[in-house]
Amino acid sequence: MLIVIVTVMPGFVLASDGARSELVAKMEALTGTPVEISGPISFSVLPRTRLVADRISIGSGVDITIDRIVADFDPVDALFGRATIARIVLVRPEHQPEIIVAEGEADEIGTTVLTVASDISASVERDRNAAQMIAGLEDLARRAIDRLDQLQILEIRNGVWRPGLDEAGPTGISNANLTITRSSSQSAFRMTGGFTWNGQPADIDMRVDSTANLRNGGTSNVSLSFSSPPLTLDFEGIMDFGTLPRLVGRFEGRGDSFATTAAWLANSDYRIPQLGPVSLNGDLTLAGRTLEVTNAELRLAQSSGVGALEYDLDADRLDGTLAFETLDLTPVAEAIVPMPAGPFGFARPIEAEFARSAHLALRVSANQARFGSLDFSDVAAVVTVADGDVSLELGDAGLYGGRAFGRIALSDKSSPWISGELSGFGVDLANLSSTFGGARLRLSGSGEFHASLSTPATDWRTITRSAKTSVSLTAGNGTLSGFDPAVFSEPGTSLLYTGLTGGSLPFETLKAELGTYGPELAIESWSMNNANYRLEARGDAALSSGQLALEGISESLSQTASAGQSQEEFIQPKPIPFTVEGTWPDPRVVTGTSERSRSGDNPIEP
C-alpha cells in the first residue's frame, strides 16, 4: 500500500495546475529566463524518480524550444518533497532564429545546455564575429559553472541551433549530442560528444578539474580536445578566475586547408586566399581582452616561422613578429591574386574583399626569402592587412650581393588595384640578368635599379592590357656578353641575329630607362660606353607580337694618332646611325654610311 501511495501520489500532485506552476518556477530559477510548458507532464518514482515534460519554450521571445525534458531526481529528496535534479536530458532543443533576443535579455540567459545554447546564440546575434565571442567566454564560463554545478549529468540529444540570415554560420549547429558530467566530490566538470557545425561534424572533449575553485575565484586545470575535418585543436593548461581572469596553457591547432578552415570558422562571404595547410602551436594566454601566443610555431603557405602573436579582441586585430629560416612569398601572392588557369582564367575576377574584414600587422624576418623570380637574404619586412588593403613593405633585404627595399600592395577600397616598387643598390648584374634576361645575352658588373608597377586589377585581362611599369638601370664597369656590336657598324642591311652569335661589349657606364603600358614596351633610352665605343638606342616593342622599331647610333670614339702619323692625317670616325625593324627573333638592322674626315679643317691629301 505504501508503495502504491509513493508511486501514484506524486504523479497526481504534479499533474495539477499548482504543481505545474511550481515546476515552471524551478526551471526558471535554473535557466534564468522565462519558461513555459505547453505539453503534458508525467512523474514517476519507480524504477526511477523521473519527470518528463513535453513542448517547452525558453525565453520571452520563444528563443529556444525543446521537444522533451527528462529530469531524474534524487529519490530520497523526492519522497520528502524536495526537487533535487541529478540528471537532465534535453531532447531536440532548438534555437529559433526568427526572433532576436534583446541584448539585455541575452545577458540574463543562463546555462543548463538550454541556456548555454541561448548564450552562444545571443552572443553571435549581438557580436557577429569570433573576436567578441572569444571575449565573452569568461562570462559564459562563469554562468555555465554556476548553473551546471547544480547537476551531476546533463545530456543533449539531437540539439539544433539555426542561425538567422545575418548570423555567422550558414547552417549553424545541428545533431548536437553532448554529455556533461560532474563529480560532486571534486566538482570536476567534463563535456564530451559531437555536433555538426556549418555542415562539418565535430567532436569535443573538455574537462575542468575543479569548478569549486573557479567559483571561489581560484584556479583549475583545464583541457580541451576538438576534432573536425577542417580543424583540430588541443589545449591543456590552467583557468584562473582571480582578479584578472586568465587562461594559460599549451595550444596546438592545425588544418589541412587555410581557406577551408577560415571559411568554416568565420563563414565569410568573401573569397579567402588558399594558402595550403596551416598549423599553429605555442603557449597561449587569454587575459582580459588580449589573446597571446608566445613561443609560437606557425606553418603557412609552405613556410615555417617562429615568434609571438597577439590578438586584440576589442580592435579585432592581430599583431606579431615571426622569424623564418626560409620564406617563399610566391604562394602567398598567387593565393591573393591567382594566376589564370587557361584562356578563360583571364576574365576571372580578382577578389580581395577579405581585406576589408581582416586586420593584421606582422613583422617578418627571414634568412632566405623568395618572391617570384627574385631571391632575397636577411629580409626585414612588414605584412599588413587593413581597411581593404594588403601590403608587403620590404624595409631592407640582401639582393644579389647588394641591398634592396620596396613595397607591393593590393587595394580593394573601390575596385582592385595593384601598385608596387622595388629599388636595389650594389646589385650583381650577372645574377640579375640570369633571373630576367635571356640565355643569349648576359650582363656583368655592379649597378642599381628602380622598378615600379601600377595597374587596375579587376582581372588578369585588365592587368595585361593596362599595367604600367617603369624600370631604370644604372651600372658600371661591366660587360654585355653574347652580343657583337659590329652588327651596328657594318653598312647595309643584316639580321640582328648575326650580332647575337657571340662577342662581348665591355662598358664603363650603362644607363637604361624602360617603360610598359599593357603589352607595349617603350625603350626610352639605352646607352653604353667605354673609352673606345658608344652605343645608344631608343624605340618601341610590342610584347604580344614581337614587333620591334628601334633607332640609335654606334660610334667609335677618338683614338690617339699612331706613331709616325701627324695629327692632320688622323681620321676620326663619325657616329653610324642604325635602325632595327621587324619581328623578334629575326628583325633587320639597317645601318647608315659613316663619312670619314680629318680631325683638322683641311681635306685629306691624296
Residue 566's alpha-carbon distances to 600, 603, 604, in angstroms, are 11, 14, 12
Instruction: For residue 269, give every residue at least 6 positions away whose Cβ sits within 8 Å of its Cβ, in sequence order, or none.
Output: 353
- Spatial contact of 326 and 301, defined as CB atoms under 8 Å apart: no
In a domain, 356, yes or no: no
Could you give phi then psi for residue 350, rounded to 5 degrees?
-90, 120
In a domain, 450, yes or no: yes
pLDDT tier, 358 (very low <50, low <70, confident <90, very high otherwise): confident
- Spatial contact of 520 and 542, defined as CB atoms under 8 Å apart: yes
- Spatial contact of 307 and 283, defined as CB atoms under 8 Å apart: no
In a domain, 26, yes or no: yes
Lowest mean pLDDT among 59-63, 111-115, 176-180: 111-115
Residue 4's alpha-carbon distances to 7, 9, 19, in angstroms, are 5, 8, 20
In a domain, 222, yes or no: no
- Spatial contact of 152 and 110, defined as CB atoms under 8 Å apart: no
Domains: count for the chain: 2
In a domain, 486, yes or no: yes
Interhelix angle 17-31/2-15, nearest 10 degrees: 80
Residue 225's alpha-carbon distances to 187, 190, 191, 286, 407, in angstroms, are 20, 12, 10, 17, 41
pLDDT value at position 303? 92
Residue 332's alpha-carbon distances to 261, 329, 363, 552, in angstroms, are 16, 5, 16, 42
Mean pLDDT for the stretch of residues 8-36 = 59
459 is in which domain, residue-wise? 420-598
pLDDT value at position 304? 95
3-state secondary structure at position 372:
coil
- Span 132-175, pLDDT tens digits: 545 555 565 666 666 665 567 889 999 888 765 444 455 678 89
Which burial class, exposed, middle or buried, applies to 103 when counting CB atoms under 10 A from its CB (0-12, 13-18, 19+)? exposed
Rg (CA), the chain: 38
Return the half-sphere exposure (C-beta side, CA atoms, 13 A cut-off) of residue 258.
19
In a domain, 83, yes or no: yes
Instruction: For residue 256, give every residue at least 6 positions away whose Cβ sits within 8 Å of its Cβ, in sequence order, or none.
Output: 229, 230, 277
Residue 303's alpha-carbon distances to 362, 363, 374, 375, 399, in angstroms, are 15, 15, 17, 15, 20
For the chain, the first-to-last Cα distance in angstroms comes to: 153
pLDDT tier, 593 (very low <50, low <70, confident <90, very high otherwise): low
Please report where in the chains the cell 593548461 appears, as a residue: 237
pLDDT value at position 536? 94
Joined grid coordinates for residue 549:
622599331
Residue 380's alpha-carbon distances to 33, 139, 191, 214, in angstroms, are 55, 41, 45, 44
In a domain, 130, yes or no: yes
Lowest mean pLDDT among 69-73, 89-93, 406-410, 522-526: 69-73
In a domain, 364, yes or no: no
Torsion of CA 564, 568, 571, 577, to 10 degrees: 160
- Span 198-233, pLDDT tens digits: 889 999 999 998 888 887 888 899 999 999 999 999
Instruction: Give the pairing type, strands 317-328 and 360-371.
Output: parallel
Name 526's bridge partners: 512, 537
Q: What is the DSSP letter of 186?
A: T
Joined grid coordinates for residue 162:
539555426
Among 151, 168, 185, identify where a domain stops: 168
pLDDT value at position 395? 92
- Span 56-82, pLDDT tens digits: 888 776 578 899 988 887 766 666 666
Among 135, 168, 201, identify where a domain stops: 168
| pTM (predicted TM-score) | 0.78
Among 168, 183, 200, identify where a domain stops: 168
- Span 377-434, pLDDT tens digits: 999 999 999 988 999 999 999 999 999 999 999 998 788 999 999 999 999 998 888 8
Name 418's bridge partners: 410, 455
- Spatial contact of 177 and 89, defined as CB atoms under 8 Å apart: no
pLDDT value at position 145? 63
